[in-house]
Amino acid sequence: MNNHSQDLAEEIVRQLKKGPEQEKVVGPLVQYLLSKGYKLEQIRFGKKEWRVPKNPSEATKRERGNQFEGFPVDIAIFDSPEMTGKSSSPSIIIETKQPKEEAGISQLETYMSLEPSVKLGIWANSADPSAPALFLYRGERYPRHKLIKDTPSPGEPIVPEGAPLRYKDLVTPSQEALRRTFSNLMDYLASKDANVVRPDDRLNELCNLILLKLESDRKAKAEGEEAEVRWRALSSPEATAQMIRKWFRDFTRIYPELFTSEEERTIRLQDDSIHQVVEALERYRLLEAGSEAVSQAFQVLRTEALRSADGQFFTPQQVITTGVELVDVKWDDLVIDPACGTGGFLIEAFFSLTNRATGDPTQAIRWAQTHLYGVDKDHVAVKLAKAVMQIGGDGSAHIFRGDSIRRHEWPKSFPHLQPELREGRFDLVLTNPPFGKDLVVMAEDLDKGGFSIHRVGGSSMKKVPIGLVFLDLACWLLKPGGRVGIILPETYFFSRSYQWVLKWLRERFRPLVVANVPMEAFQQYARAKTSFFVFEKVEGEPDLEGEVLFLNPQTCGIGPDGKTIDSNELLDHVLQVKKGELPPGAARVKLREVYERGVLVPRYYDPRYEERLNRLLKEKGIEGVSLGELVEEGLLEHRFGHGSPDRLSRKGEIPYIKVSDLRAGRVNVNPTNLLPKEVAEKLWKGEESGLRAWDLLTPIRASSNIGEFAVLLPGEEERVLTKEILVLRATEKGREKGYTPFYLFWALSLAAVREAWRRITLMQTNREDVGDCWKEVRIPKPPNSHWAESVSRPVREYLEALAQAQKALLGLESQEKEGFSFVPFLRARNDEQGTEAS
């Protein structure tokens, strides 16, 4: 920057008023106007802002040189420096105050009616030359959607002369400009167009027009910079709409599989809406927006397209990028996403190859046209996928609308899929299939479609979750040695109810990599815990001595609120692996061990959760022993809770204990959860609960405090426990060896042991669960009973003191004989008349 430019920049800063709008929009806009040739002396802004008289009488005062009341204008541009000031009025005004278009235009209309010299009013909220803006020309009924770049330069006619729009006149939009444009258009259609009241309809219509705009860009680009652009607004909304509707009907012949009915070949938007969309996009080179702008700006539309009610979740770009890195797309790979949604994985696969290409870039585009395939049954998502792929590299030729799963329906409903999707044709399947508890495929359809996943061990299931059916479909599509990268809920790969999945998998796929996808990735849509799985198709028994790589990153570039954060361990860990390094928490595990354990989840194999315990045992020179070993040796007994009553049965005197009632080492009583004796006995399956004093209780499912133990004190045996509670009891044999209830409570409450529970606390869909893995938790093995009694003495004294205090408190009930009524807070009661306390 030379001295003159530096002086101008400093002068602009001096003239600005305080506030983010002045610093982020007004100041940069003035700087941009200077770059177009304007002089600082012919622009009024900031502390020297121009004021428009509030009414004709105030205008008269201004003409006489008197003080007057007026509206402040953010930026006023005069025809020349000599004409700036009281002797003349501006010809262009720019307003940046209002966040919404309607309010901004209303403000411009008011100012222009009071300032007759103004020929052009501009509403803008950005200084980016490619950012959208509204231009209101004097005498015109409608504002025009243009760009900041279209602000006339000094000497140019302010009102456009109607010259044809050429490809060289278009600009490549920035990421934020394109994103804002799409967002504004969706808002406009929602508030203004009565023909499209449903979100799906609005999105569909906008997708139709975007495809048409891309067709215009492609044709003009092929003809050269001087080529006239077909996509442009005409003299009136009626003329624009008539041109677009006729053009669209011709265009639908290119994609007959997308536009299969008369309704789909018709633009339903009102004339004003069509004109609005055309104006908003006409000055953009949409075809050349670039990969980053595409992935971010189209998020507005992609999020609308993928609805959680259908089990479809927008796949964050951070997860897409990492998944493509993991599968390592190669030049020879024929790639398919059979549940492509809006094409996120496909476009990233193309970018991955393009970024590695150092020669002719057109060859990468040819690769995309011949190597990328996508299918989705949602016609709006398919249109978006085609649009994204055309912008990214025109790999849209093989994006099809259809139902990938129901292959038996292809001949009748989707004949275009038959020649393209064939058994064993593809090298790589990349997908994030829909998932949800109600999204299943029935056995009848699975049989007709030739699937096998519902038939394991000689029996047939009635239905299978659709995500697993897509895994079966991937097996059919892949050639031997082919790879699949797929996002699936972890519950399929550790839960007892899905143990059959690993049996089915063993004969067909070898797991190569499993990467944890942090919960935040899909938290905006669902709490289902997922991982990214990479499998290789095998024929026959896989090599059980081969290794599976487990990655357990804790962040993925998305915060709990859904916003982007700097930390992205998911991608960092994958890049470390590609360098030959093993990132923190990663583990390479023999396939034989994986099948023996029946768990294919990264958290389970993360060694970090037991490092603290291992250090402790080493420092103290003692061994560890698992709870399972104690059970096998008869030193420890276990049982689970009784069950759950219905809500109408919760009025009585027997406490019902839920997992949330086990806190701070105590079995707390909720006075709103008390059961009649007959209900309790039904759940106990007898007259007694089967519980004993000093039993240890912890949640093992559906709780954030799994592994946090509480102790049942004497007098608290009459309790009903929910099924999600594990009960541990020291046997007489165990007590003799030092495993008293007090030692067990001490050992299980150690911070190092509590940390170890995290390894086995996996997510069954969206609820924490340890299954039988609680038996793997280790505690310090006491060298002898005296050592155990010594370290646990404080715990024993504390618990026995609690028991004694509670006994004394309960003794106050004897005062009822003397006419006092006392309800101890550790033994609450309720009845229909309420509780009386004295």
Identical fold, 3-161 and 624-803 = no
pLDDT class of 619 with cuts at 50, 70, 90:
very high
Read off the pLDDT of each residue in 61-71 and give the average, rounded to a whole number: 87
CA distance 465 to 530: 14
Instruction: Give the three-state DSSP class for 812.
Output: helix
CA distance 500 to 6: 71
Comparing CA positions, the residue from 401, 276, 391, 291 lying closest to residue 341 is 401
Element (H, E) at 223: helix 199-223
Q: What is the pLDDT of residues 143-170, one digit of tens each?
A: 888 889 989 998 887 877 666 788 998 9
Q: What is the pLDDT of residues 640-651, one digit of tens each?
A: 999 999 877 777
pTM for the whole structure: 0.78
Q: Phi and psi at residue 680, in whole multiples of 5°?
A: -60, -45
pLDDT class of 822 with cuts at 50, 70, 90:
low
Partnered with residue 80 across adjacent β-strands are: none
CATH classification code of 295-606:
3.40.50.150
CA distance 336 to 427: 8
Query: Mean pLDDT of all residues in the chain?
Result: 87
| Of 171-175, 186-190, 630-634, 705-709, the least confident | 171-175
CATH of range 3-161; options 1.10.10, 3.20.20, 3.90.1570, 1.20.120: 3.90.1570
Comparing CA positions, the residue from 619, 615, 622, 621 lying closest to residue 780 is 622
pLDDT class of 828 with cuts at 50, 70, 90:
very low
Q: What is the pLDDT of residue 308?
A: 45
- The conformation of residue 625, written as its DSSP 8-state character, comes to E
Q: What is the pLDDT of residues 469-480, one digit of tens each?
A: 999 999 999 999
CA distance 446 to 450: 6
Taken in order 170, 171, 177, 178, the sign of the CA dihedral is positive
| Of 304-318, 331-345, 451-465, 514-528, the least confident | 304-318
CA distance 470 to 453: 10
Task: Tell me: pLDDT of 115 over 50.
Answer: yes
Q: What is the pLDDT of residue 727?
A: 97
Q: What is the pLDDT of residue 169?
A: 86
Task: Tell me: pLDDT of 15 over 50.
Answer: yes
* Terminal Cα-to-Cα distance of the chain (whole angstroms): 84
Q: What is the pLDDT of residue 622?
A: 96
pLDDT class of 835 with cuts at 50, 70, 90:
very low
Instruction: Give the three-state DSSP class for 809.
Output: helix
Q: What is the pLDDT of residue 367?
A: 85
Better-predicted residue by pLDDT, 307 or 679: 679
Better-predicted residue by pLDDT, 664 or 602: 602
pLDDT class of 234 with cuts at 50, 70, 90:
confident
Better-predicted residue by pLDDT, 559 or 440: 440
Read off the pLDDT of each residue in 316-336 and give the average, rounded to a whole number: 92
User: Where do the domains of the chain lie?
Assistant: 3-161, 176-289, 295-606, 624-803
| Of 432-441, 534-543, 628-637, 779-788, the least confident | 432-441
Read off the pLDDT of each residue in 197-202 and give the average, rounded to a whole number: 85
pLDDT class of 817 with cuts at 50, 70, 90:
low
| Of 82-96, 305-319, 382-396, 657-671, the least confident | 305-319
Q: What is the pLDDT of residue 578?
A: 94
Task: Tell me: pLDDT of 814 over 70.
Answer: no
Task: Tell me: pLDDT of 832 over 60.
Answer: no
Task: Tell me: pLDDT of 310 over 60.
Answer: no
As given in the structure block, the two tokens for residue 97 are 């105050």
pLDDT class of 693 with cuts at 50, 70, 90:
very high
- Count Cβ atoms within 10 A of the Cβ of residue 218 and give its class: 0-12 exposed, 13-18 middle, 19 or more buried: middle
pLDDT class of 260 with cuts at 50, 70, 90:
confident
Read off the pLDDT of each residue in 747-773 and give the average, rounded to a whole number: 92
| Beta-carbon contacts of residue 294 (< 8 Å; ≥ 6 apart) | 347, 388, 391, 392
Read off the pLDDT of each residue in 804-812 and give the average, rounded to a whole number: 76
Q: Are strands 120-123 and 92-95 parallel, antiparallel or unpaired?
A: parallel
| Of 125-139, 200-214, 308-322, 506-520, the least confident | 308-322
Q: What is the pLDDT of residues 770-783, one digit of tens each?
A: 999 999 999 999 99
pLDDT class of 292 with cuts at 50, 70, 90:
low
Query: What crossing angle do the helices spanning 379-392 and 199-223 adopt, rounded to 10°?
Result: 30
Better-predicted residue by pLDDT, 80 or 247: 247
Q: What is the pLDDT of residue 525?
A: 64
Instruction: Give the three-state DSSP class for 701.
Output: strand
Q: What is the pLDDT of residues 669-692, one digit of tens each?
A: 998 899 999 999 999 999 999 999
Our measurement of the distance from residue 610's CA atom to the centroid of its chain's CA atoms, rounded to an integer in Å, reads 30
- The conformation of residue 781, written as its DSSP 8-state character, comes to P
pLDDT class of 815 with cuts at 50, 70, 90:
low
CA distance 483 to 480: 9
Torsion of CA 591, 597, 602, 607, to 10 degrees: -100
Q: What is the pLDDT of residues 483-524, one digit of tens each?
A: 999 999 999 999 988 999 999 999 999 999 999 999 888 776
Read off the pLDDT of each residue in 752-765 and give the average, rounded to a whole number: 92
Task: Tell me: pLDDT of 324 over 90.
Answer: yes
- Is the domain covering 624-803 a CATH 3.90.220.20 domain? yes
Q: What is the pLDDT of residue 738?
A: 96
